[in-house]
Amino acid sequence: MKGVKLNKQDSVKTKIKELEVALQNTQMALQVSQTMIKHILDQFKVTQGDLSSTMGMLNDFQYRTLAMLEVGNFDRNAIDKKAEQLKLVDFDNASAKEDTIKGYVIDNEGLVTENSVITITSHTPELAEDQGIFRSKFPMSECLNPVLRQKLLGLRINDTVEADFNGAKHNITVLSIKKQLVTEEKSEQEG
């Protein structure tokens, strides 16, 4: 019979030395992890302090604004209307910038599909104070609510659909339908 040559086994001393090195490496990694966790916690405490301070300023600003409206005897409906106009201008500017960056163009077919990028608004007519969505722009691929997704697919601009969010009925209106310009279409427009 032919014998099989066995490799020489590591000595007990060598194994213990390897274990010591592994233990030292683990201890060092644990110390680094602890240092990183402490650093993150310290940063979180600073951020939490900043957030508390900002919330205090926002509350103060809110109360001062409400006081000015009351003392100044302003027409709140006119102020609300103007505020909506200003928000709309900011939203439209940001949306146009995003369209340029991401290559969104108006979808001339005007029908919400799986590939559409839509802008919606909503109102909550059953609530005393409207809690609707001012504006929301998103690709349909990011619409994770299957019920809402089905209701939106196939709609056209200015079509309205009902959906429930957080226990409130929203009347959702499609304001724009866009699509992402594919590479071939970009090349044709550039040429």
Segments making up each domain of the chain, as ranges: 13-72, 104-190
Mean pLDDT of the chain: 89
Residue bearing the bigger pLDDT, 189 or 37: 37
| Residue 159, pLDDT above cutoff 60 | yes
- pLDDT tens string 77-131: 899 899 999 999 999 999 999 999 999 999 999 899 999 999 999 999 888 888 8
What CATH class has 104-190? alpha beta
Token reading at 168: 């409130």
Which residues have CB under 8 Å from 171's CB, separation 6+? 122, 123, 124, 125, 132, 160, 161, 162
H helices of 103-160, in order, are 146-152
Q: What amino acid occupies position 63? A: Y
Residue 63 in this model has a pLDDT that exceeds 80: yes
> Is the pTM value of this prediction over 0.85?
no
- Could you tell me the pLDDT band of residue 183, with boundaries at 50, 70 and 90? low
User: Which band of pLDDT confidence, cut at 50, 70 and 90, is reported for residue 184?
Assistant: very low
Q: CA-CA distance, 109 to 47, in Å (whole number)?
A: 47
> How far, in Å, are 28, 37, 46, 47, 55 from residue 43 at the CA level?
23, 10, 5, 6, 18
